[in-house]
């Protein structure tokens, strides 16, 4: 699989798994109390949304972070900071601004927490994929 494909998976797999467990298992009662989600969630639409995000974020990493100086971890944390702020703006702030919910502060708290956990995982994982694939290419026989 290509480095880009692995970067897409580095976003998609942990984001989907974490999102599913976070929203539908671990904090299901918390979200239910917010009274903002439909009873019949359309999981394929959520997955498609994450896939689109994964492709765009992989492009961002490849174009803006992959060749930056520093260790893979430094690049991953810088990428995570950008990704978290951007994600937070459209998954937390924009949703809180326009959706009906029982408590905007409670929603902002739980979604901010989710976004931080997500990007603490996704940022370094994406950087590791690029570092690993670059290292394996440089060691390949000519």
Q: What is the DSSP string of 19-76?
A: HHHIIIIITHHHHHHHT-S-SS--HHHHHHHHHHHHHHHHHHHHHHTTT-SS-HHHHH
Q: Is residue 32 part of a domain?
A: yes
Q: What is the pLDDT of residue 136?
A: 58
| pLDDT at residue 18 tops 50 | yes
| pLDDT at residue 142 tops 90 | no
| pLDDT at residue 133 tops 70 | no
Q: Is residue 62 part of a domain?
A: yes
| pLDDT at residue 140 tops 90 | no
CB atoms within 10 A of CB 15: 24
Q: How confident is the model at residue 1 (pLDDT cuts 50, 70, 90)?
A: confident
User: pTM for this structure?
Assistant: 0.91
Give the CA dihedral 32, 54, 129, 123, nearest 10 degrees: -50
The H helix count followed by the E strand count for the chain is 6, 0
Tokens of 66: 């992959």
Instruction: Answer whether 34's CB lies under 8 Å from 106's CB.
Output: yes
Q: Is residue 141 part of a domain?
A: no
Question: For residue range 25-81, what is the model confidence (pLDDT) as tens digits?
Answer: 999 999 999 999 999 999 999 999 999 999 999 999 999 999 999 999 999 999 999
| pLDDT at residue 138 tops 70 | no
Listed residue (141, 120, 139, 121) closest to 131, CA to CA: 139
Structural domain total, the chain: 1
Q: How confident is the model at residue 139 (pLDDT cuts 50, 70, 90)?
A: low
Domain that holds residue 7: 3-136
Gyration radius of the chain's alpha carbons: 17
Q: Is residue 142 part of a domain?
A: no
Q: What does pLDDT average to over the chain?
A: 94
Q: How confident is the model at residue 23 (pLDDT cuts 50, 70, 90)?
A: very high
Q: Is residue 105 part of a domain?
A: yes
94-100 contact pairs (CB < 8 A, 24+): 99/36, 100/35, 100/36
Q: What is the pLDDT of residue 134?
A: 64
């Amino acid at each position: 699989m290509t480095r880009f494909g692995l970067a897409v998976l580095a976003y998609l797999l942990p984001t989907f798994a974490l999102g599913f467990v976070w929203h539908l298992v671990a904090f299901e009662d918390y979200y239910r109390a917010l009274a903002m989600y439909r009873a019949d969630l359309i999981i394929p639409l959520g997955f498609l949304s994450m896939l689109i995000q994964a492709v765009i974020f992989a492009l961002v990493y490849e174009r803006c972070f992959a060749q930056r100086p520093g260790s893979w971890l430094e690049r991953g944390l810088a990428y995570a900071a950008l990704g978290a702020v951007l994600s937070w703006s459209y998954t937390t702030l924009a949703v809180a601004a326009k959706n009906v919910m029982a408590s905007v502060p409670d929603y902002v708290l739980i979604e901010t927490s989710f976004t931080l956990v997500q990007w603490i995982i996704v940022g370094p994982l994406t950087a590791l994929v690029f570092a690993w694939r670059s290292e394996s290419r440089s060691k390949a026989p000519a």
